Amino acid sequence: MKIEPRSLLVLGGARSGKSRYAQALAEASARQPWLIATAEAKDDEMAARIARHAKERGPRWRLVEAPLELTPALRSTCAANRVVLVDCLTFWLANLMFAGRDAEADIETLARVLPELSGPVVFVSNEVGLGIVPDHALGREFRDIQGRANQRLASVCETVVAVTAGLPRLLKPAPTLDIRF
């Protein structure tokens, strides 16, 4: 099955292979790959992680850092001759929360702008709702916002893929289920 979406959401757990999968899709494209990175190097471990990812991407990639202003970065970066990879929505949402922003409003703005973008975009996001319920309010709030963000983006992206153990599984488009009782 060949799919050429203008918008793709890649979901998965931590270390599921979702970023590697999304990167491989972008690199296989004839378009110029651009990364909009949302993570910030706030400690040595994160700085090393970011440096490792940059080395893995190589010189073909262009980079835009947007820890908070994702929608404006997409508007200025997306183009017909580019494929833009946003890695990842989870860091972006955490950044919004810690900055005291209205994450729900920013998610809605992103969802409304997505169909207007002038080139293909791939979003990477963590599926955080499959584990235990966090034992503190901030963790539960984050899990809830992340879940709603994934649902909202899945509703507007043309294609949604879940990656588990490095294996992609197509969620959207999918056959309509006709379940009756």
Q: For the chain, which domains are there?
A: 7-172 (3.40.50.300)
> What is the rounded average pLDDT of the residues 49-64?
86
Out of 31, 53, 143, 148, pick the active-site residue. Answer: 53
Tokens for 19, please give them: 């970023």
Does residue 132 have a pLDDT over 90? Answer: no
Does residue 36 have a pLDDT over 90? Answer: yes
d(CA 139, CA 82): 36
Q: What is the pLDDT of residue 150?
A: 98
Does residue 19 have a pLDDT over 80? Answer: yes
Residue of 173, 147, 160, 114 lying closest to 22 (CA atoms): 160
- The answer to whether residues 15 and 160 touch, using CB atoms and an 8 Å cutoff, is no
Q: What is the pLDDT of residue 41?
A: 83
3 state DSSP class of 87: strand
Neighbours of 88 (CB within 10 A): 21
Using pLDDT thresholds of 50, 70 and 90, give the confidence band for residue 168: very high
Which one has a higher pLDDT value, 3 or 110?
110
Using pLDDT thresholds of 50, 70 and 90, give the confidence band for residue 32: very high
Cis ω before 72 (30° cut-off from 0): no
Residue 136 falls in the annotated catalytic set: no
Which of 5-9, 74-78, 135-139, 142-146 shows the lowest mean pLDDT across its residues?
135-139
Using pLDDT thresholds of 50, 70 and 90, give the confidence band for residue 42: confident
Which one has a higher pLDDT value, 2 or 86?
86
Is the pTM value of this prediction over 0.75? yes
